[in-house]
């Protein structure tokens, strides 16, 4: 950290792992694993594994079991393969959640952290998770709730539209497409999952500044597309303007002590293949 800000060096996937995983993703991963409770000897699949934070935590739990991490993004998997793993071996596979390149009845636990909302066919993805589970298997997954329940993201989305025009926030708002827990429960039940539970969970997210939050949203997530046609000077000008508008849309409490602090809400679901 220099002058209170995180440094930008590395690819989008490397930046994601270095900064967004500890600030956001790790908190949700620890919660998901605690609820899923993978056990020694379990075979675990992490769908949309990204750089593998959930898979590595699962590997620490299953010890003599095995863990598979699957993602469509080769860059994320490349980073995942370089990171230390203190648990059972992890097989990293590039593939689609809509057509899992895996046999049926293979896994005891399927995990999917904050990925389902991005899938173009959520029902098909859930059916695929159901297919690869053993009859005694269970699924644990999380999705963000409505964006209004995460004020930092809400302020940022509004700032994107202010600076870049209407619908610039489409990708960000798409992360929050689940507006009600019943929506997630219904999708799971229609995929033939049983004993479905959906919990509303809140984590406190802290960034060193609004500028850091905005930089990494625009440089280490799918929102990089918003800057792809801009040169370096233009990118920095956009980031600075979006950060200023995000600040103006934030409360004093969110900006206390110079940090950017806000609650982030998600729905966390648990279900079984069979009762």
Alpha-helical (H) ranges within 20-150 are: 26-36, 53-62, 74-82, 122-132
CA atoms of 145 and 72, how far apart (whole Å) = 23
Q: Does residue 39 belong to any structural domain of this protein? A: yes
Give the separation between CA 129 and CA 192, rounded to whole angstroms: 11
Is 6 part of a structural domain of the chain?
Answer: no
Query: How far apart (Å, rounded) are the C-alpha atoms in residues 79 and 192?
Result: 34
The verdict on residue 2 lying in a domain is no
Coil vs helix vs strand at 179: coil
Question: How many C-beta atoms surround the C-beta of residue 230 within 10 A?
Answer: 13
- Digit-by-digit pLDDT tens for the chain (275 residues) are 233 433 434 588 898 998 899 999 999 999 999 999 999 999 999 999 999 999 999 999 999 999 999 999 999 999 999 999 999 999 999 999 999 999 999 999 999 999 999 999 999 999 999 999 999 999 999 999 999 999 999 999 999 999 999 899 999 999 999 999 999 999 999 999 999 999 999 999 999 999 999 999 999 988 999 998 999 999 999 999 999 999 999 999 999 999 999 999 999 999 999 86
DSSP reduced 3-state for 103:
coil
Query: What predicted TM-score, i.e. pTM, was given to this entire model?
Result: 0.93
User: What whole-number distance in Å separates Cα of residue 178 and Cα of residue 198?
Assistant: 12
CATH number at residue 186: 3.40.50.150
Q: How many Å is the Cα radius of gyration of the chain? A: 19
5 within a domain of the structure (yes/no): no
* DSSP H helices in 148-255: 151-164, 170-174, 181-190, 210-219, 232-248
Q: Kindly state the helix (H) or strand (E) to which residue 90 belongs, with its residue range.
A: strand 90-94
* Range(s) of the domain holding residue 257: 12-272
Within-domain flag for 87: yes
pLDDT in tens, 119-175: 999 999 999 999 999 999 999 999 999 999 999 999 999 999 999 998 999 999 999
Residue 7 lies inside a defined structural domain of this protein: no
Question: What's the pLDDT score for residue 7?
Answer: 40
> Pairing mode, if any, of strands 66-71 and 194-207?
unpaired
80, 67, 68: which is closest to 40 by C-alpha?
Answer: 67
Report d(CA 130, CA 97) in Å as an integer. 12
Q: How many domains does the chain have?
A: 1
């Amino acid at each position: 950290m220099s002058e209170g800000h995180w440094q930008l060096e590395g690819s989008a996937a490397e930046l994601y792992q270095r900064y967004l995983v500890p600030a956001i993703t790790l908190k949700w991963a620890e919660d998901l694993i605690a609820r899923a409770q993978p056990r020694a000897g379990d075979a675990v699949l992490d769908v949309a594994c990204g750089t593998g934070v959930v898979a590595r935590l699962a590997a620490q739990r299953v010890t003599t079991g095995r863990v598979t991490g699957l993602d469509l993004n080769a860059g994320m998997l490349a980073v995942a393969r370089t990171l230390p793993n203190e648990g059972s071996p992890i097989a990293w596979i590039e593939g689609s959640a809509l057509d899992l390149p895996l046999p049926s009845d293979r896994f005891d636990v399927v995990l999917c952290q904050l990925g389902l909302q991005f899938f173009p066919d959520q029902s098909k993805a859930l059916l695929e998770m159901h297919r690869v589970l053993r009859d005694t298997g269970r699924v644990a997954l999380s999705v963000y709730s409505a964006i209004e329940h995460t004020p930092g993201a809400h302020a940022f989305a509004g700032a994107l539209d202010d600076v870049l025009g209407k619908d610039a926030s489409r990708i960000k708002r798409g992360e929050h497409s689940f507006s009600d827990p019943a929506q997630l429960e219904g999708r799971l039940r229609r995929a033939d999952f049983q004993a479905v539970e959906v919990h509303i969970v809140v984590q406190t997210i802290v960034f060193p500044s609004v500028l850091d939050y905005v930089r990494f949203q625009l440089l280490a997530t799918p929102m990089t597309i918003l800057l792809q046609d801009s040169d370096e000077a233009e990118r920095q000008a956009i980031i600075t303007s979006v950060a200023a508008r995000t600040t103006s849309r934030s409360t004093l409490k969110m900006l206390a002590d110079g940090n950017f602090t806000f609650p982030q809400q998600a729905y966390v679901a648990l279900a079984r293949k069979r009762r």
